[in-house]
Structure 1
Amino acid sequence: MKFSYPAVIHHENDSYWAEFPDLEGCHTFADTLDGIFNEAKEALCAYCSALVGEGKVLPMPSDISLIERGNDGDVLAVVEAANS
């Protein structure tokens, strides 16, 4: 199953963290920009797989143009992940 959700990537204190506004509590951290995208894919896959495994319905992804960045340095990205 494939999952695709918008994420907000934050850069603070020489590290990065990502959050998925549509998925309460789904977030992750990394030391590098490349690392945060890998970690975000893993977090998204684990979170969505857990919800599906519990029989819950995944929320519809928001249109990325409607997502607000917290700071000027934040990056918006659509993260795609698939479980095996």
Structure 2
Amino acid sequence: MRPQDDLYRNVNGTWLRTYQLPPDKVSYSTFSEVSDRIEGQLRQVIDDIHNPDRLVHSPAAPIQPAAVRISASASPVISATRAGG
């Protein structure tokens, strides 16, 4: 396709042919991508809190002492409150 015939398709043709919209989305933007990444990171932090041994190499490492106290407690809600969380 020549640019003078259809500039839009000439510039965006490959993307239009190859892009797959995620099946659970009706639209997808940079903000959606950032939101999905942050959600994944938060899930990792929450999973790591439930397994304090993995916290050493986790983004949640700074909260390891509080996570250990919470995990050792019979009541995580009360321990989280006492730990300042």
Interval of TM-score (by shorter of Structure 1 and Structure 2)? 0.3 to 0.5
Instruction: Point out the structure with the larger strand share.
Output: 1
Q: TM-score, normalised by structure 2?
A: 0.33
Higher Rg of the two aligned structures: 2
